[in-house]
Amino acid sequence: MEQRRSTGAAFRIGFPPLAPGAGIVFEGAQGFLPTHAMDEVKTRTRAAFLRGLERYLADEGLPQDCIACDVTFDKLHNEAYACDPDSASVRSALRTAVEVGLADPAEPCRGWEVSCDARLFAGEYPGMPVLTFGAGELEHAHSDREQVSLADLFEAVRFTVLFVLKETGTIP
């Protein structure tokens, strides 16, 4: 905002005239960690949005009541999920990843703790370990540039087969 003012760049949010009672919807995505309950995520997100709106209005010299908003979470329905990082299955997965060359035994075990569909399986099969794993580079996952090389795919298949054989007791 300061740079815009110092350079003289004009910025205004303009909307066509609205019918009485009509509104504009701004929609965003919210990812969160299993370290925060959904109610806390909603409370913190709502507060951040309202603080941002309040600051924008103050910076523009507009009255605080000139924009009315209602922050809702119509599409946020589930808690995030994470399994126990010290579970037998996670330790087995790490040993298997080291065996097939996907992990370095000198490096600490790191997980990607985000909301994902693992929560569906964990809810369907309580008490059963649920791990997620995928081939390819994380930077490409679920992006417009999503891709996976055949080499990464074959490594993932090798890991998965060996891990499942170990988990089922087929091989030690």
Phi, psi of 93 (to 5 degrees): -60, -40
- Percent of the chain beyond pLDDT 90? 19
CB atoms within 10 A of CB 80: 19
- Is pLDDT of 13 > 60? no
Average pLDDT, the chain: 79
| 3 state SS of 66 | coil
Here the tokens at position 30 are 């919210």
Q: Which of 41, 27, 26 is nearest to 75 (CA)?
A: 27
Q: Which of 68, 73, 74 is nearest to 20 (CA)?
A: 68
Runs of H (alpha helix) within the chain: 2-7, 38-59, 88-99, 118-124, 150-167
pLDDT tens-digit series, residues 89-128: 989 999 999 999 999 989 877 666 555 777 788 888 888 8
- When pLDDT is cut at 50, 70 and 90, the band that residue 38 belongs to is confident
* Candidate from 13-27, 44-58, 97-111, 154-168 with smallest mean pLDDT: 13-27
d(C-alpha 124, C-alpha 127), whole Å = 10
**pLDDT given at position 82:** 75
- Percent of the chain beyond pLDDT 70? 72
Q: What is the pTM of this model?
A: 0.56
d(C-alpha 88, C-alpha 82), whole Å = 14
**pLDDT given at position 153:** 92
